[in-house]
Homo-oligomer: A and B are copies of this chain.
Amino acid sequence: MSETTDPAIETIKRRKAPAKPKGRVTMTDIARAAGCSQATVSFVLNNSPGIKLSQQTRERVIEAARALGYSAPAFSALRKPVAAFDGLDGVIGFAVDQLATSPEAVVAIEGARQASWNAGNVLLVAQTMGDAVMEPRAIQALTRRGISALIYMTIFTREITAPDFLYSLDIPVILLNCYTADYAFPAVVPSEIAGGQSSTRHLISHGHRRIATITGEPWMQAAQDRLKGYRRALATADIPFDPELVVEGDWSASAGYAATVKLLALKDRPTAIFCQNDRTAIGCYEALKEAGLHIPQDISVVGYDDEEIARHLFPPLTTSILPHMAMGQWAIEQLEAPTAPGHGRYPITKLECPLVERESVRAVAGG
């Protein structure tokens, strides 16, 4: 006896099916939840002109729609593959925790924009403010719009535990200035170790041997790495490491001031100071000037970050450029590469921090 071929039974089975937990939310579902008809839901959601509905009903419907997570279909095929070749308009999302607090975010966005502009890709920027509630909303606002890829940036270089939803996106995700422990996404960060090393090497090559450094807040990755680079450069040049010459700061100008005062009190004063960011260098300048020392005749100073102000200090400060522009470009290039990222394991890419020589370093007299 063939049990599957009786047409009548088949029909019945299919009819029964309407116990449909299809997962998908329909207007009928909303109607049920809101206690009205599907037609009403349609009217409300489309703001159909010429239809009069009570405010009450409207609100109930919208509330129910939100509660059930109703949303328009995505048509994922219509998202343009972010493209280097054709001139069409892909949309790339750029999520960053903060835009305004430091210029780096804007610089990275600018790098990404330049890189994507030629191919005709549009960049949409959203701020997450590192807020657990708003971050998903902000990123949802991007993904709902059918972006082809997402660049996720943090202001501070650091390891992050990516929010869960990053893993379930069906588009390429690139991390900028941060990375995850599981290497699930391509990531790019500045090469702070190399930066610290080349800053220090720069001083060494000018004949300095007593080189002090003022660090940032020690729990920050960047501070650790810049210090590591400093030590490497010393080691490479066979200069013994002297803990006396490392003073802990906190990235602030006032800490730079205090640290410099401390360094000047040493019996064997340094001939050069590597300030691990430009703000610290500002405080350092201040303290040196108060002590009657001239930069760079009496003492050399280098900073880090190449903030706008570094150019306007007197004398202009030799410092290292954070490669945020290049990082933005890199992120886009990854997307445009023939092997656009899926999900797998990716190495962390580090980009160099080039040194800009200005006038705060001079060869040491007896060098």
**Neighbouring B residues of A74 by C-beta, 8 Å:** 72
* Contacts A46-B75, A312-B309 given; does A137 touch B89 at CB 8 Å: yes
| Contact of A218 with B by CB under 8 A | no
Provide the bound-state CA to CA distance between A306 and B146, in Å: 39
What are the interface flags for A67-107 relative to B under an 8 Å C-beta threshold, 1 for contact and 0 otherwise? 00011111111100000000011010000000110010011
Q: Are A100 and B110 in contact (CB under 8 A)?
A: yes
Q: Is A33 an interface residue (CB 8 A)?
A: no
Question: Which residue of B61, B71, B106, B129 is within 8 Å of A106 (Cβ)?
Answer: B106
A107 to B77, CA, bound (A): 36
CA distance A144 to B72 in the complex (A): 11
Known: A122-B126, A122-B138, A145-B146. Is A70-B62 also a contact (CB below 8 A)? no
Complex Cα gap A142–B91 (Å): 10
Assembly of this chain: how many copies? 2
Point out the residues of chain B lying under 8 angstroms from A89, CB to CB: 137, 140-141
The answer to whether A137 and B110 touch across the interface, beta carbons within 8 angstroms, is: no
Complex CA–CA separation, A134 to B74 (angstroms): 22
Give min CB distance, A132 to chain B, whole Å: 13
29 A-B contacts (beta carbon < 8 Å) = A44-B77, A45-B75, A45-B77, A46-B73, A47-B76, A62-B77, A66-B88, A70-B75, A71-B78, A72-B74, A72-B75, A89-B137, A91-B141, A99-B110, A99-B125, A100-B110, A100-B113, A106-B106, A122-B137, A122-B141, A123-B126, A124-B124, A124-B125, A124-B141, A144-B145, A145-B145, A145-B146, A309-B312, A312-B312
